[in-house]
Amino acid sequence: MGFVQDYDELIMTERGLFQKICRVFLKQTFIVCDRNEESRKMYFFVRKHHEMFSDYFQYMGFDIAIDLDNKVTMLKNQKNDGLQSNRMRFRKYESIVLCCLWTIYVDQVREGNLTRPILITVFDLRHAMEKYGVKEDMEGKGILRDTLELFSRYQLVDINGEIGNPDCTIRLYSSLQFALELEEFKRFVTDADKRMRENGKMTDLFEDEESMEEDDES
């Protein structure tokens, strides 16, 4: 069956949910099943109608991928699409925070932390950032808060509390695994290590707008 026939067979409430999910994909890329009840409902609806969503988005050069093990569904570029239009360009410090969150999540998974939500504190994140030599540069400027709020909008993390308060926690979602390709992460870490060895720390985080055009893409 084609998309039109599949869509016509949906009841009115299902059509409304389909439209809502399409807007969510275009806005935030990921839908994480374990985030809340609404996300759970959307995730299982996409699983049930995976082919219909893929048929719909293919005309825009996108595809829908579902990771059953991690219960994440996501909007992806088609393999042969040269536009890469759903890729977001991060600034260097945003890439650094993302890499730190990514490594913390992977370490937790390797330790077998799969049966409960992965929660960390801001202190844990800042400690991970120290090896990149940027912890002090990001203090007191709202940069860390703004970066975490950005990641929250894409369902990569959830912030519980106010950044800066000792009781604030950050929930890491499994979608972090798919926000940064492994080869991109390896290149980033290699480049960061080289610059730290040469300069002692990263001194080019807060570049002007012209040099920002050369930022890493994640």
Q: In CATH, what number does 92-212 get?
A: 1.10.10
- pLDDT, tens only, 34-87: 999 999 999 999 999 999 999 999 988 899 999 999 999 999 988 765 555 566
Q: Report DSSP state, residue 160.
A: E
Calculate the alpha carbon distances from 86 to 74, 137, 183, 188 in Å: 11, 30, 18, 20
Say what the pTM is. Answer: 0.79
Tens of pLDDT, residues 95-133: 888 888 988 888 888 887 666 789 999 888 888 888 766
List the 169-172 sheet strands across, edge first: 118-121, 169-172, 157-160
What gap in Å lies between CA 186 and CA 190, rounded to an integer?
6
What confidence score (pLDDT) does residue 210 get?
A: 37
Domain ranges (residues) in the chain: 3-77, 92-212
